[in-house]
Amino acid sequence: METYWAILERVRGSALRLTKLDDDILAHLEKDFPEFDPAATINEDEMKSKTGKERWRAFMMAYEKKIDDYNFGTMMRTNPKFEYGRDETIFGTFSTPSCDGLC
């Protein structure tokens, strides 16, 4: 976590590129989830609903052969305005260097 924050202190998250797939993943996210607002609070119930799980699973599976460990989990802040904390953090899948920035 310290390394991640050290990077973010030097480079804006919107300008950070950790892999060659970052731009492709973001474009795919914007296409499949046009309602996604990175500044909004994540609705965990919606994300983990049957429909939400199906949508995220389809998105994630596109990277099965492109990204090692494409389906690992990660801690995500539910709202970018708050630091990581017990009440502001959820666990989700699709953790890679490329996708952590999306989380």
| Per-residue confidence band for 103, with pLDDT thresholds at 50, 70 and 90 | very low
Say what the pTM is: 0.69
Task: Answer whether residue 20 is part of any domain.
Answer: no
Mean pLDDT value across residues 36-46:
87
Task: Answer whether residue 21 is part of any domain.
Answer: no
Q: Are residues 56 and 94 in contact, defined by beta-carbon separation less than 8 angstroms?
A: yes
Work out the end-to-end distance of the chain between its first and last CA atoms, rounded to an integer number of angstroms.
13
- In this predicted structure, the answer to whether residue 57 has a pLDDT above a threshold of 60 is yes
Task: Answer whether residue 38 is part of any domain.
Answer: yes
User: Any long-range contacts for 30-37 (C-beta under 8 Å, 24+ apart)?
Assistant: 32/58, 32/59, 33/59
Mean pLDDT value across residues 66-86:
78
| Per-residue confidence band for 1, with pLDDT thresholds at 50, 70 and 90 | low
Q: Residue 70 sits in a domain of what CATH number?
A: 1.10.3560.10
Count of the separate structural domains present in the chain:
1
Residue 60 to residue 4: CA distance in whole angstroms: 22
Task: Answer whether residue 22 is part of any domain.
Answer: no
Task: Answer whether residue 92 is part of any domain.
Answer: yes
Could you count the other beta carbons within 10 Å of the beta carbon of residue 96?
Answer: 22
3-state secondary structure of 76: strand
State the residue range of the domain holding 71.
33-103
- In this predicted structure, the answer to whether residue 37 has a pLDDT above a threshold of 50 is yes
